[in-house]
Amino acid sequence: HWLSTLYQTKGEHIKYQSKELSFHLCIITAERLLLYFAGTSGGNNSKTRTIIIVVVSVAASLMLAIFAFVLFRKRTKRKPEEQHQTDDISNFIESLKYSFTTLREATNDFSDVNKLGQGGFGTVYKGVLPNGQEIAVKRLAENSGQGDVEFKNEVLLLAKLQHRNLVRLLGYCLEGTEKLLVYEFVQNASLDQFIFGNMVITIFLLKVNIIRD
C-alpha cells in the first residue's frame, strides 16, 4: 500500500490546485462585479456605490476565510494519517531486524565452510538460528555503494514480495558498515536468487517471468 499512498498524495495535490483555481475565479468574478457596479453608478448614487463596494468586499473576504479554513482542516487531517502510515512501516522494518552477533554466531563467524557462493554484490552463507531454523545470510560487500535508506527500502520491497518462485526474505541486519539480508534457506533454490535478491532490476525481471509462467 506504500505505492498507492504516493499516487493518492499526488491526486490530492491536483484536487487542491483545482479548488484554488475555482476560488481565484470567484474572487476575479467578484472584482469584476465590483468594477461594473462602480462604473455604472452615477455621481448621484455615491451612497449606493459605497454599499455595493462594502458588500462585495465583505463577500470576498468571507469566501477567502472559508476557503482557508477548509484547506487548513483537510491538511491537518492528513497529517495523523500520514504519520500513522509512517509508524506502521517503521514498526514493520524494525520487526525484521536481526543483530549482527546473532547472524555471526549462526554462520559460525562467516566461515568458509558455511559459504554457499559469492557474487559481485556479496557473499552468501548458510546459517542456523538458535531455534534450529536454517537460513541463508547474504553479507553485502562494503563497496556495494548502497546507502542505509536505499537498503531499508529494498528490504521493505523484498519482504512484501511473497511468491512460490521467490526465496522469502526473513529479515536484515544494519549495523555500522555491515548490511546483511536473511533469507529462508531452500535446499534446491538457485544461488542467484540469494546473490541478486536485493536488486530492484532482478526483482522486476523475476516478476515478469512469474507472470509469463
| Amino acid occupying residue 128 | V
Q: Estimate to the nearest angstrom the gap between the alpha carbon of 44 and the chain centroid.
A: 65
Rounded to whole angstroms, what are the CA distances from 17 to 21, 25, 71, 76, 82? 6, 12, 11, 17, 20
Mean model confidence pLDDT for the chain: 70
CA separation for the pair 76, 187 (Å, rounded): 52
**CB neighbour list of residue 129: distance below 8 Å, 6 or more residues apart:** 102, 106, 135
- Reported as type and span, the H/E element at residue 70 is helix 46-95
Tell me, what's the pLDDT at 182? 92
Lowest-confidence region among 59-68, 144-153, 202-211? 202-211
Annotated binding site for ATP: 138
Annotated binding site: 138
φ, ψ dihedrals at 134, nearest 5°: -85, 140
User: Would you kindly state where each structural domain of the chain is located, as residue ranges?
Assistant: 2-94, 100-212
Tell me, what's the pLDDT at 77? 65
Which three-class secondary structure string do you get for 86-128?
A: HHHHHHHHHHCECCHHHHHHHCCCCCHHHEEEEECCEEEEEEE
Tell me, what's the pLDDT at 109? 95
CA separation for the pair 153, 172 (Å, rounded): 12
Is the pLDDT score of 6 beyond 50? no
**Which is higher by pLDDT, 189 or 2?**
189
- Reported as type and span, the H/E element at residue 155 is helix 148-160
**Which of these CATH numbers, 3.40.50.150, 3.40.50.300, 1.20.1070.10, 3.30.200.20, describes 100-212?**
3.30.200.20
Tell me, what's the pLDDT at 26? 53
Residues pairing with 169 in the sheet: 183
Cell 484536487 sits at which residue? 15
Length of the chain: 213
Three cell numbers written together for 175? 549495523
Say what percent of the chain tops pLDDT 70. Answer: 53
CA separation for the pair 101, 137 (Å, rounded): 13
**Which is higher by pLDDT, 182 or 27?**
182
Write out pLDDT tens, residues 106-152. Answer: 999 999 999 988 876 789 999 999 999 999 999 988 777 777 888 88
Tell me, what's the pLDDT at 143? 74
Write out pLDDT tens, residues 159-197. Answer: 777 666 677 889 999 998 899 999 888 876 666 555 555
What single DSSP character describes residue 133?
-
